[in-house]
A and B are shown apart, each in its own frame.
Chain A
Amino acid sequence: MAKYTTLCRNAAALSALLSSTLAAAAPPDYGVGRAATAEEIKLWDIDVRPDGAGLPEGKGTVDQGKTVFNTYCVACHGANGQGGIRDRLVGGQGSLATDKPVKTVGSFWPYATTLFDYIHRAMPYTAPGFLSIDDTYAVEAYLLNLNGILPDGATLDRASLLEIKMPNRDGFVPEPEFVHVTNSR
């Protein structure tokens, strides 16, 4: 029993040492990794935020987007963004409070930036990242048009995308625990 107690004390001392090491302002130089260059960071830094951070310059029209959609997207998402084997993208507005909610870009997605980010990072499924910036703007313009958010013939670019207020923009209630994040660092 005495031996066990000693072991426990040692373990506690070790964990105290480790945590104080981890909390120290200047961690030891572990001699691993290397500095990332600004140039290579640019290759991977694809995320886009609602405030426009990360959203590149570019533009595309609804009509161009229809061509892009019918080439790369229609096989999974269906003609006009409905009835495909994968996620429905169009319609469903007004259904969220019913027994059969239909969540689509038009009815549910709160930010136009999220749509740009997701199309650009993940679509088309078989070749993610394949669409150019302009094609991404175009196909987003087409999807917003199908959902009644952009008029026929519209052009979408960085400035106009940031002005879009999606129909369900105010439809989200954040969990109170993470509204104001703090830590003791």
Chain B
Amino acid sequence: MDPKDRDNTRGAEHKGSVSGGDESGPKQRLLTRRKVLVGLSVLPGVALWGRSMADTLADVPARGPGDLLGKYSERSKYVQISRVPEAGPGVRNVEPINAINSKAPLDKLVGIITPSDLHYERSHAGVPEIDPAKHRLLIHGMVKKPMVLTVYDLMALPSVSQIHFIECTGNGWENWKKADENLTVQNTHGLVSCSEWTGVPLRLLVDMVGVDRRSLWMLAEGGDGAGVDRSIPLTDEILNDALVAYGQNGEPIRPAHGYPIRLIMPGFEGNLNIKWLRRLKFGDRPWMTRWETDRYTQLRPDGKATQFQLRMDTNSVITSPSGMMEIRPGYNRITGLAWSGHGKIAKVEVSTDEGKTWKVAQLNLPVLYKAQTRFQMDWLWDGKPTMIVSRSTDDKGNIQPDRRSFIARVGSNALFHYNAQQTWSIDSNGKVHNALS
């Protein structure tokens, strides 16, 4: 890297992604700047604003008429941001035919809302193309009035909008047994996202069809090829929080996320938020579907498996600096995301000395119930190798566990519900790597 560029660089960056050159004349300076701008597009989000590649104001291109206004607005060509499709733990950037999930670029996102096209995805039989005019929601079982509703029926009912995270129960699965040091935070934690969801409160539908008071479980089933179905306990919390949603971030839910309707189960396993929802059946006991026996259960060291561990636990991760970024000595802003299926985030602490001492990070507003919460902290790095780690506490007093005590408690075969603290190691060159503490 050119020393002059380095002088103008603030914040974390990918090593080698910014190219400089000799700057002997205006023409070459322009070329340099263009190269640099191209390089910028692959930088993590945090670096996008903090740096200036125009050496003087005279280097900033002149203003002029821009592109024509269209029906959609595209991302800047200087922003390259995308999900990472995977076929399983460690099998990344696969062809779509082999992908079972696609991870959100947490390192390049800011704030707490995930743009809908970058929201993580886990689908079990692809993304069905559903004509809303032909889609139906059947509500039956232990109810007084079994009903068929159209998407338009649902949209005519009183609605609410709520901001919540959804997290795949497999999030974090890369780090159960070992830490590949070349992972980004998108690789380690990209199976969580946060949206504003709009729809009909489940409670309203429960009252509308007259669900029998003895019904304490509900089967929710999707209209995908797998007909993914889960048994959902009808606790007060779930009855008060859950939605049948048709809107995501101000527009109809996108097909990958359940168009035209999906169940939203705030704070609970991603797979309970049944996409392409087409059936709600009320009963008095769980159905023991494939997804709650063979799949989303956690194997313990003794060979037994924990079942119906439905709530996503207290979690956090530093998104910058994070895996594969590079920092420089001096001021660095540490930032990241925290979330809990129990409620609101109450506190996030950050350690920059391998967990020996902790400081309380600032929580950026808003801090919402069962939503991603953004935290940040000032840090002056002295240039010595160290490890940084975050831990969150929610308003129910649950504290995100350190990895050692977490593994000691649940073993390393559980595959799902990993919420141990994430450690990033920083070497003497400022390079950041995934590490186990």
Find chain A residues with CB under 8 A from B281 CB.
45, 47
List which B265-298 residues lie within 8 A (CB) of chain A: 278-279, 281, 283, 285, 287-290, 293-294, 297
Q: How far is the CA of A173 from the CA of B303 in the complex (A)?
A: 11
Say if the beta carbon of B378 comes within 8 Å of chain A: no
Say if the beta carbon of B110 comes within 8 Å of chain A: no
Q: How far is the CA of A122 from the CA of B310 in the complex (A)?
A: 23
Q: Which chain B residue has the least Cβ–Cβ distance from A124?
A: B225
Q: Which chain A residue has the least Cβ–Cβ distance from B212?
A: A185
Encode B146-165 as 1/0 by CB contact (under 8 A) with A: 11111001101110000000
Q: How far is the CA of A117 from the CA of B305 in the complex (A)?
A: 21
Kindly state the interface size class of chain A when it binds its partner: 35 or more
**B297–A172 CB distance below 8 A:** yes
**B294–A109 CB distance below 8 A:** yes
B433 CB to nearest A CB, Å = 25
State the majority secondary structure of interface residues on A: loop
Say if the beta carbon of A110 comes within 8 Å of chain B: yes
Q: How far is the CA of A23 from the CA of B236 in the complex (A)?
A: 11
Which of A44, A103, A110, A115 is close to B138, meaning CB atoms less than 8 Å apart?
A44
Find chain B residues with CB under 8 A from A173 CB.
300, 304-307
Say yes or no: A49-B288 contact (C-beta < 8 A), given A24-B207, A101-B413, A172-B293: yes
Q: What is the total of A-B residue contacts with beta carbons within 8 Å?
A: 158
Q: Which chain B residue has the least Cβ–Cβ distance from A49?
A: B287
Say if the beta carbon of A83 comes within 8 Å of chain B: no
Q: How far is the CA of A60 from the CA of B158 in the complex (A)?
A: 49
Looking at B12-20, B28-36, B227-235, B247-255, the stretch in contact with chain A turns out to be B227-235
List which B199-219 residues lie within 8 A (CB) of chain A: 201, 203-204, 206-208, 211, 213, 216-217, 219
Q: How far is the CA of A118 from the CA of B139 in the complex (A)?
A: 21
List which A3-50 residues lie within 8 A (CB) of chain B: 18, 22-25, 27, 30, 32-36, 40-41, 44-50
Q: Which chain B residue has the least Cβ–Cβ distance from A29?
A: B208
Q: Nearest 5 pairs between A and B by C-beta?
A: A97-B303, A96-B303, A32-B153, A36-B146, A118-B290
Binding site for A on B (CB under 8 A): 125, 138-140, 145-150, 153-154, 156-158, 201, 203-204, 206-208, 211, 213, 216-217, 219, 221, 225-227, 229, 233-236, 239, 278-279, 281, 283, 285, 287-290, 293-294, 297, 299-311, 413
